[in-house]
Structure 1
Amino acid sequence: MESSAAPTVSAGHDAGPAPVDLLRRLRARGAGDPVTHVERVPARVGVPAPWPAWAPPELRAAFARRGVVAPWQHQAEAATLAYDGGHVIVATGTASGKSLAYQLPALATLLADPRATVLYLAPTKALAADQLRAVAGLELEGVRPACYDGDTPRAEREWIRRHSRFVLTNPDMLHHGILPGHAQWSGFLRRLAYVVIDECHTYRGVFGSHVAHVLRRLRRQCARFGATPVFVLASATSGDPATAAGRLTGLPVTAVTEDASPRGGVTFALWEPPLLPPDSATPAVPAQAAGDHDATTDLVQVRRSALRETADLLADTVAEGVRTLAFVRSRKGAEVVAANARRALDDAVPGLGDRVAAYRGGYLREERRELERALLHGDLLGLASTNALELGVDLVGLDAVLICGYPGTRASLWQQAGRAGRSGQEALAVLVARDDPLDTYLVHHPEAIFGAPVEATVLDPANPYVLAPQLACAAVEAPLTPADLALFGDGAKEAIDQLVEAGALRQRPTGWYWRHRERPEVDLRGEGGAPVCVVESATGRLLGTVDGGSSHFLLHPGAVYLHQGISYVVDDLDLADGCALVHVEEPDWSTHARDVTDLSVVSVRSYVDAGPVGMFLGEVDVTSQVVSYQRRRIATGEVIDTRPLDLPTRELRTVAVWFTLSPRSLASAGVQQADVPGALHAAEHAAIGLLPLMATCDRWDIGGLSTALHPDTEAPTVFVYDGHPGGAGFAERAYGTASAWLRATRDAIAECGCETGCPSCVQSPKCGNGNNPLSKPDAIRVLDVVLENLPA
């Protein structure tokens, strides 16, 4: 580990130091103090409520055996609303017991009505598996809970369809399996009493818009079988949860938001990694590991990387006997943090590194289940995870959470921080800032975290690129009728007409009919295609999967791919078959893909004419292609060579926000004509970096382009666009908050202590132009011109 001493192992691992003492020890391990702010989140006393009169004695007894003596006030309120037939969302903090709010009415109904069924939807397999353990552990006669997902053996599926009364699944399986096979599920669906949608705040953007229509398709099939289930939603604390739940389900929903559960105190530290020595040109971490798309990075690190810092902190907390969960933004990042922490621990005490592991999506089922078991039973003390463990998995006894980089929303930040102290004990949470504009801004503006409301969930069911494919899926399940237009909402008739014109639907007197034998292929997660399987060439062993949209960056021929700390090099990428062949190799170089992008304006939806400045929202066409990759020495960052790639072009019609400036206004502000490209480029990077402060996205959900003279605007222009077909609502949010968004962008650049620009302000880890040209001082001048003219 660079510049850090090996951790000192404490005598025992059963009980670590108190959070305040632990933080003091962590702060003292380096020359300077990396903590910019410490927030004390006070403990809270719980407010219990009596069991509802309708809760049967055997159910109360089952919960009592699990240690639940009585519900908390919010649990009882939400449960009663649902039991009385109202659609309800309970939006309270992590570890507040939201599960009881839906388990109580659902299980009471199953016990009272031996024919009733319940469908539970979770965004991750880990969460569904955890809820299965919880429901099965109640040992209620006749409930027969079962998971039905991609991991379910085919031999078990028919039994589940016929006999399970509490089916746990995910939106993907509902979309790909249950709804297309509705005839096989007719017995279950016609008796469906409740639909539970857990962690519903995760259904945002394009994914959320798709899920909204999957739920409408579910309601449609239930209605055909004569069922009108009650929807019960559980969410992290979020802005306006009733409205978001209504958009998701298409139903009127009542919100329960007052959290009455007890909570242990949390010491929450904001941690900024130290600056590297001025003469250091060594990357703090292999750039290929920094994020799922960071293979494109050309950054010169000025601070120690958040990945290295988090790995050190994880090693230190594990050495103190502190059960710690480290959240990392990417799959590669989780692998790197775990590997570096293991190495540091083994340097201190051989074998201690075995108590740290990585956990991420793409692992095989057996690996995921074993890691969950090991953490729950204490065989592991440290786990580096992607957000697969962010959600409501019932992990108890965790003492600390490390968050490697701001996760994109305050809702996710608090959700991750809430994984510690779930048994009511004092806990430590540490946000380790990445070297980028948003994280740097946040650790120096703690009020933006601790004094700002949690964001509202952004989704747009009317997105035509979501609505039309979903209507096609619905038409396969049953012909569309005029009565369905209201169910699918605004734009449904126009989308149906387009499907008819394209030859996908045929209109008859009784409705619109699907014309093809094949079902439409619709990717709910908008990840740019089906997952690509990563297969070891020598053995044929499946290592994992990578989403299709990332495969161009992560699995191009010659790319270095990490799996459980082992390096592989890609031999071949077959996009048609969805397969990448790799072999084991430990190269001393990392790979960095490069892409080129072009953009044209299709239409303008709205604009603000502010004299020399124009602000626009509209549709654009984006064309991009990964054209080459660099190999660089891991130890020095030296470029070995650049190798061409022959990968297909990708085209995207989406929504963008953009602003234009007159050349005269730029000249008046002191921006020389030769510096305009660098000024706009730097402003674009910083604006993309700060947009997640305003919208529920991260910088990988959005893209950008800047030019000193765009042919469609005939002016210097900066574009920021949604990285999903048809848009995801992020550019629209940026347009609506333009002044606040660009003010925060300007402040982030101006407050950065560097002279010419760095990853903390204007450099981007995904720049296709190698972060060149960039002009930090001129970017401030550009944004000053915009802010001086744009209405507040």
Structure 2
Amino acid sequence: MPPRHHQPEALLAALSASRGRADRLTHTEHLAAREARCAPWPDGIRPEIVASAQALGIDEPWAHQAEAMQLAKSGQTVVLATGTASGKSLGYLAPVLSELLEGTEARNGRGATALYLAPTKALAADQRRRAAELAPQRVRAALYDGDTPPEEREWVRQYASYVLTNPDMLHRGILPAHARWASFLKTLKYVVIDECHSYRGVFGSHVAQVLRRLRRVCERYGSSPTFLLASATTADPAVTAHRLTGLPAVAVTEDASPRGPLVFALWEPPLTENVGEQGAPVRRTATAEAGYLLTELVERGTRTVVFVRSRRSAELVALQAQDQLGTPLAARVAAYRGGYLAEERRALERDLHSGRLLGLASTSALELGVDVSGLDAVLMAGYPGTRASLWQQAGRAGREAQGALAVLIARDDPLDTYLVHHPEALFATPVEATVLDPDNPHILAPHLCAAAAELPLTEADLPLFGPSARQLLTVLEQRGLLRQRTKGSWYWTRRERAVDSVDLRGSGGSPVQIVESSTGRLLGTVDAAAAHTTVHTGAVHLHQGRSYLVQNLDLESSVALVEPAAPPYTTAARDITSISVLATDTTVEWGEARLSFGSVEVVNQVVGYLRKRISTGEILGESKLDLPPRTLRTRAVWWSVTEDQLLEADIPFDRLPGAAHAAEHASIGLLPLFATCDRWDIGGVSVPLHPDTQLPTVFVYDGHSGGAGFAERGFHNAEQWLTATRDAIAACECERGCPSCVQSPKCGNGNDPLDKAAAVRLLNILLAGAPGRSTESS
């Protein structure tokens, strides 16, 4: 077999030369190697921890690790925001484990305790392995998550000193049962929040309120833990840490770890002979291109991870590579994604750690910090949504300071196409700040109920939950959810658990279980919000390389019954959406046009699905569905133009629907460049004459109840956002509009009507009136 590590330049040259692919490489960025800077072990780090680290080959910590340790020992809230593979774990583990060792010698009952929070189960399991490497056996580290057997949970509550869990278990399992966790909470010294940049949008806002509830319960038991946060490189990490915890934070951002040279390539798949919806040209999919590249890398013995955007894509990439490789190499390629059962995930993680697997196709479930040493290459099948995630994924390779290759493969959509032709947007632009809004009343209100159920709320608690808390208490009293038994003391009034009404991840309810009807075997789960579009009756579902056909979706029981099948088609849901303005917060005049931000109500209903031939995307037919509408109250940004502007832009009324629809699609595709979101986090509606504005209007809204801050970010960056949108449409080489510019993979109208040329003119006339611009068209 070839040598384990390969020069990244040689790997890239081989990939681009093979099969005449040189024209697919749009840009190559070379990042130089970086020398390490070390520092002495800070005072207060126990000699046992130092000895364990030195046994692992760590004679001294890097300078940023030592700084974080020193701040942690002084009791300050600290966020360690440095690059991937920069040893953030040691930065917080050394002070935490040292404190736990001190506690075991105090002989005052249980001793000191610490809590670790991770966004994924895999990361928590990986962190327990790292703690075991550093800590003597008398530090009792234990996992506490949905996979922990009931008989083990009682032991964890009574005896574990270092509990590794996730925000969901803290919210549903620990805080409502805080009396059973009293001995743990009384001596809680540290709370570690790993990969805190992943707590964004609705999820991040919920987690921020869970942490406030934790602080309140800890105070009840007489403890005041120090919060230690680890993050990928983001803008304003101290501000993010403050918003997440409610505590002032100090940021450590200067990365002193060594890094091997990184070759970062931007790659655009070729156009195919196929045509898609409305006869548009179609590029080879990013997942198909990734499958080819993964095959060649595995053949060269190159340890590679492919990051994809969906569970289905993870299965498809792995299956394609396995088919092309044949035995025996096919057995060294696998898929990894959320929704697998616990034993399946653990087996894959072991095989990846051991090196038995050479290639892995993964969703972002593997992005978050799982230690995979020795990877040579990372392929990203589509932009992951934020620059922070892009660098996080790219950093999975080269973790032993060897040279590494990262390749971003563009999907056939506006944002990816824009990025591979505008490399400065990736390599010369700072990473984003994390967007979260803990004061969102739709998020705060249920957490006030949960807090009152845990311990009666008092006036003294209200500052902890933010400036909106007092007003919301009145609303919750009026709804009969809270009651004052004594003045200034509020209680939960219901028999059901308050936490059961709070969905941290904004998935819209209980996950839908996917069950094989003939055997009763549980294959996995899908979020409730995605069930209507992904596991409706008649949908094609993939699991571990096998195709299934959904026989029935039972929404009442949250079960989708499936049977093995191999249809020659995929399915795509079709829906209808209407939107109404509830309240306008802000309006800005853009010449004759208007840009607004406020609250809206969106009503969406899946009404059918298309069957598309797998090989070409050709539409084979359409079937109707009878699913209930879903109503969403959220936040939106919208813009309206006048009839005079349409005349000036030469857009007759019969072309207006296609122009507005195309501009809407492209603006949704480009908003993730300016807000920390994914296009699936947001939605849009375009209306030639909207009843609330009485003008042609395009809306872009947050896809989560109460909003998530993404539309607001679009409002504040509207000129840059809509300029990039106009430029992306205008620069696309297609004639009438295609997935690279104005078509959307989630359009419920089959991407009809769309008018690319009129969309450019519509955006030109809008931008001409933007503040600070001349009246001439841009």
- Aligned partner (choices 625, 632, 645) of residue 645 of structure 1: 625
Match of 2:212 among 213, 216, 229: 216
* Contact residue 503 and residue 515 of structure 1 kept, 8 A: yes
2:284 and 2:450 map into 1 onto residues whose CA distance is 49
Given that residues 15 and 21 in structure 2 are in contact (C-alpha distance below 8 angstroms), is that contact kept between their aligned partners in structure 1?
Answer: no
Query: RMSD across aligned C-alpha pairs, in angstroms?
Result: 1.2
Shift of 1:302: 2.0
Report the equivalent of 2:369: 392
Q: In the superposition, relative to structure 1, how do residues 307 and 301 fare at CA in structure 2: closer, same or farther (>3 Å)?
A: farther
**What is the CA–CA distance in structure 2 between the aligned matches of 1:579 and 1:145, rounded to whole Å?**
36
Using the TM superposition, give the Cα deviation of residue 658 of structure 1 relative to its aligned residue in structure 2, in angstroms: 0.2
Task: Report whether the alignment pairs 1:236 with 2:236.
Answer: no
Q: How does 1:51-62 map to 2 (within 5 A)?
A: 51-62=41-52
Query: Equivalents in 1 of 2:688, 2:566: separation in Å?
Result: 43
What residue identity is the alignment partner of 1:535? V
Structure 1 residue 351, shift from structure 2 partner: 2.8
Which region of structure 1 is more displaced relative to structure 2, 13-22 or 323-332? 13-22
For 1:69, the equivalent position in structure 2 comes to 59
**2:776 corresponding residue in structure 1:** none
Task: Work out the CA distance in 1 between the residues paired with 2:714 and 2:153.
Answer: 45
Letter in 2 for 1:743: T
Whole-Å Cα distance in 2 between the matches of residues 778 and 640 of structure 1?
30
Secondary structure of 1:113's partner? Answer: helix
Given candidates 459, 478, 493, the residue that maps to 1:515 is 493
> 1:32: how far off?
4.3
**In the alignment, which residue of structure 2 is the partner of 1:308?**
288
Distance in 2, matches of 1:299 and 1:462, equals 46
Please tell me whether residue 130 in structure 1 is matched to residue 126 in structure 2.
Answer: yes
Q: Which amino acid aligns with 1:99?
A: S
Distance (whole Å) between structure 1 residues aligned to residue 766 and residue 573 of structure 2:
33
CA deviations over 1:591-633 (Å, ceiling 9, x no partner): 1111110000000001102231100000000000111112233
Kindly tell me: are residues 13 and 584 of structure 1, through their superposed partners in 2, closer, same or farther at Cα, counting changes over 3 Å?
Answer: farther
Residues 6 and 376 in structure 2, CA contact (< 8 A), matched pair in contact too: no
**1:202-601 pair list within 5 angstroms:** 202-277=198-273, 280-281=274-275, 300-346=280-326, 350-509=327-486, 510-520=488-498, 521-601=501-581
2:108 alignment counterpart? none
Between Structure 1 and Structure 2, how many residues are aligned? 762
Contact 2:311 2:337 (8 Å CA) reproduced = yes
| AA matched with 2:233 | T
| Aligned 1:640-719 pairs, distance under 5 A | 640-719=620-699
Instruction: Flag structure 2 segments of 5+ consecutive residues without an equivalent.
Output: 105-110, 773-778
Q: Confirm or deny that 1:39 pairs with 2:29.
A: yes
Counterparts of 2:191 and 2:20, CA distance in 1: 54
Q: How does 1:133-212 map to 2 (within 5 A)?
A: 133-212=129-208
* 2:8 equivalent to 1:19: yes
> For residue 109 of structure 1, what is the aligned residue in structure 2?
99
**CA distance in structure 2 between the aligned counterparts of 1:719 and 1:232, rounded to whole angstroms:** 39
Q: Which of the numbers 54, 72, 95 marks the counterpart of 2:85?
A: 95
Contact kept, 8 Å, 2:414 with 2:728, in 1: the verdict is yes
8 A Cα contact 1:436 1:759, kept in partner: yes
Uncovered stretches (5+) of structure 1, i.e. residues with no partner: 1-11, 284-296
User: Conserved in 2, the CA contact under 8 Å of 1:90 and 1:256?
Assistant: yes
Against the structure 1 CA distance between its residues 301 and 158, is the aligned structure 2 distance closer, same or farther, given a 3 Å change threshold?
farther
Secondary structure, counterpart of 1:483 in structure 2? helix
Mapped contact 2:79–2:241 kept (Cα < 8 A): yes
TM-score (norm 1): 0.95
Question: Shift of the alpha carbon at 1:53?
Answer: 2.2
Report the alpha carbon displacement of residue 139 of structure 1 after superposing the two structures with TM: 4.3
Identify the match of residue 590 of structure 2 among 610, 614, 617. 610
CA distance in 1, matches of 2:385, 2:18: 29
Asked if the contact 2:97/2:135 (under 8 Å) is kept, the reply is no
Tell me if the contact between 2:6 and 2:403 (Cα under 8 Å) persists in the aligned partners: no
1:132–1:146 contact (8 Å) kept in structure 2: yes
* AA at the equivalent of 2:628: P
| Cα deviations by residue, 1:438-473 (Å, 9 ceiling, x for unpaired) | 000000000000000000000000111100011111
Deviations 1:236-281 (A, max 9, x none): 000000001000000000001000111111000000001113xx34
Aligned-partner residue type, residue 17 of structure 1 = H
Determine whether 1:785 maps to 2:765.
yes
Cα distance in 1 for residues equivalent to 2:61 and 2:144: 29
Alpha carbons 1:16, 1:320 under 8 Å: kept: no
CA contact (8 A) 2:323 2:330 kept: yes
Contact 1:667-1:673 at 8 Å conserved across structures: no
| 3-state SS of 1:774 partner | coil
Of stretches 400-409 and 581-590 in structure 1, the one that deviates more from structure 2 is 581-590
Cα shift at 1:141: 3.5
| Aligned equivalents of 2:646, 2:716: Cα separation in 1 | 24
Q: Cα distance, 1:634 vs. partner?
A: 2.2
Letter in 1 for 2:294: L
Amino acid at match of 1:419: R
Distance 2:697 2:458 in 1: 45
Secondary structure, aligned partner of 2:213: helix
Q: 1-side partners of 2:81 and 2:551: how far apart?
A: 47
The C-alpha deviation readout for 1:502-530, integer Å capped at 9, x for no partner, is 11111122511100110132100001111
Cα distance per residue 1:54-102 (max 9 Å; x no partner): 2121110011112211100000101111101111001000000000111
In the TM superposition, residue 638 of structure 1 has moved relative to its aligned partner by 3.7
Q: Compute the displacement of 1:538 (Å).
A: 1.1
8 A Cα contact 1:559 1:591, kept in partner: yes
Distance 2:467 2:574 in 1: 40
Paired residue for 1:292? Answer: none
Please give the alpha-carbon distance, in whole angstroms, between the structure 1 residues aligned to 2:190 and 2:434: 23
Secondary structure of the structure 1 residue equivalent to 2:609:
strand
Q: Is contact 1:610–1:791 with CA below 8 Å preserved after alignment?
A: yes
Three-state SS of the structure 2 residue aligned to 1:120 is strand
Is the CA contact (8 Å cut-off) linking 1:275 and 1:302 kept in structure 2? yes
Q: How many angstroms does 1:484 deviate by?
A: 1.2
User: What amino acid sits opposite 2:765 in the alignment?
Assistant: V
Asked if structure 2 preserves the Cα contact closer than 8 Å seen for 1:534 and 1:546, the reply is yes
Q: Distance in 2 between matches of 1:299 and 1:333?
A: 24
Give the Cα–Cα distance (whole angstroms) in 1 for the partners of residues 21 and 294 of structure 2. Answer: 19
TM-score (norm 2): 0.97
Distance between the aligned counterparts of 2:556 and 2:3, measured in 1? 51
Listed as ranges, the matches of 1:714-725 within 5 Å are 714-725=694-705
Q: For 1:489 and 1:635, locate their aligned partners in 2 and report how far apart those are by CA, in whole Å.
A: 53
- Counterpart residue type for residue 631 of structure 2: E
Contact kept, 8 Å, 2:280 with 2:737, in 1: the verdict is no
Distance 2:44 2:206 in 1: 36
User: 1:366: Cα distance to partner?
Assistant: 0.7
Q: Which residue of 1 aligns with 2:599?
A: 619
Post-superposition shift, 1:30?
2.8
Tell me the distance in 2 between the aligned counterparts of 1:483 and 1:143.
36
- Give the letter aligned to residue 514 of structure 1: W
